[in-house]
């Protein structure tokens, strides 16, 4: 049975919630079954190379073996442009820390293909929030403000890292929409046509958020033993 020592783990965990600082933790990224394309909100599934004029998904071949399955990606190619969006969602749970707020989402990004490189191409992401008790969907980050410009196209299995840092880009008002049980929607698209025989690919990694170690009411976040 725990004693009264303030360093006991039970006391330490509960005080951590009370100090409102939380800890930085990884959370799962949406599974492929939770990504939806622009056309009739079709589900992104592994069904081969994306169509030349739209968005889709496929696997990176593992170890150069034909048919080998490595990481799945969401990609755009050919005439796919800003209207060929891909959407997904993340819900902030009850452990989400509101002071300070952290939400960073890293991606692996690359351009591949035999076509001429499009040096102006960038991947954009519109972020919106569905806040509990608010019937209006709020814009957290506009696509024009939240984007990444990949370097030159590659012919090898190499990627650049894009870390979407919401607190670094959002205003105080926009950041206020991030709270427990908020549903964040992410709408990805290239800002212009990708290019003939060229593909833009993104691979999501685990988002990084700041969370409390305990939840429930404020009284539950006080030391268990004094």
**Tokens matching residue 81:** 């442009």
Strand partners, 189: 124
pLDDT for residue 18: 45
Give domain status of residue 224, yes or no: no
Q: Name residues whose C-beta falls within 8 Å of residue 63's C-beta, 6 or more positions apart in sequence.
A: 70
Give domain status of residue 73, yes or no: yes
Give domain status of residue 38, yes or no: yes
Indicate which CATH number applies to the domain containing 75. Answer: 2.60.120
Give domain status of residue 5, yes or no: no
Phi-psi region of 78 (alpha: psi -120 to 50; beta: other; left: phi over 0): left
Q: Give CA 30 to chain center in angstroms.
A: 8
- Taking 50 as the pLDDT cut, the residues of the chain under it are 1, 17-19, 48-49, 51-53, 215, 221, 225-226
Distance CA 80, CA 194 (A): 6
Give domain status of residue 142, yes or no: yes
pLDDT for residue 52: 43
Is residue 133 packed enough to be buried (19+ CB in 10 Å), middle (13-18) or exposed (0-12)? exposed
The residue segments making up the domain with residue 64 are 24-214
pLDDT digits 0-9 by tens, 28-59: 999 888 888 776 556 676 654 454 445 667 77
Distance CA 126, CA 32 (A): 19
Give domain status of residue 46, yes or no: yes
Q: Would you say 188 and 105 are in contact if contact means Cβ atoms under 8 Å apart? A: no
pLDDT for residue 1: 45
Distance CA 30, CA 189 (A): 17
Total number of domains in the chain: 1
Give domain status of residue 12, yes or no: no
36 closest CA partner among 56, 21, 9, 16: 56
Give domain status of residue 206, yes or no: yes
Distance CA 69, CA 62 (A): 5
pLDDT for residue 75: 87
**Tokens matching residue 79:** 């005439």
For residues 75, 80, 85, 87, the Cα torsion angle rounded to the nearest 10 degrees is -10
């Amino acid at each position: 049975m725990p004693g009264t020592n303030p360093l006991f783990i039970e006391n330490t965990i509960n005080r951590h919630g009370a100090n409102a600082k939380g800890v930085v933790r990884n959370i799962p990224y949406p599974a492929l079954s939770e990504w939806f394309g622009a056309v009739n909100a079709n589900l992104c599934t592994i069904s081969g190379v994306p169509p030349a004029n739209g968005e889709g998904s496929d696997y990176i071949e593992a170890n150069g073996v034909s048919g080998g399955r490595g990481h799945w990606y969401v990609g755009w190619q050919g005439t796919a442009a800003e209207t060929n969006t891909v959407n997904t969602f993340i819900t902030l749970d009850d452990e989400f820390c509101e002071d300070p707020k952290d939400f960073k989402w890293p991606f692996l990004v690359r351009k591949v293909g035999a076509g001429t490189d499009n040096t102006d191409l960038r991947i954009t992401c519109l972020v919106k929030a569905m806040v509990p008790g608010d019937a209006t969907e709020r814009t957290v980050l506009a696509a024009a403000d939240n984007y990444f410009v990949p370097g030159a196209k590659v012919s090898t299995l190499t990627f650049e890292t894009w870390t979407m840092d919401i607190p670094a880009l959002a205003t105080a008002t926009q950041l206020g929409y991030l709270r427990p049980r908020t549903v964040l929607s992410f709408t990805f698209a290239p800002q212009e046509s990708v290019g003939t025989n060229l593909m833009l690919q993104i691979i999501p990694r685990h988002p990084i958020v700041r969370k409390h170690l305990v939840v429930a009411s404020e009284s539950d976040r006080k030391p268990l033993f004094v």
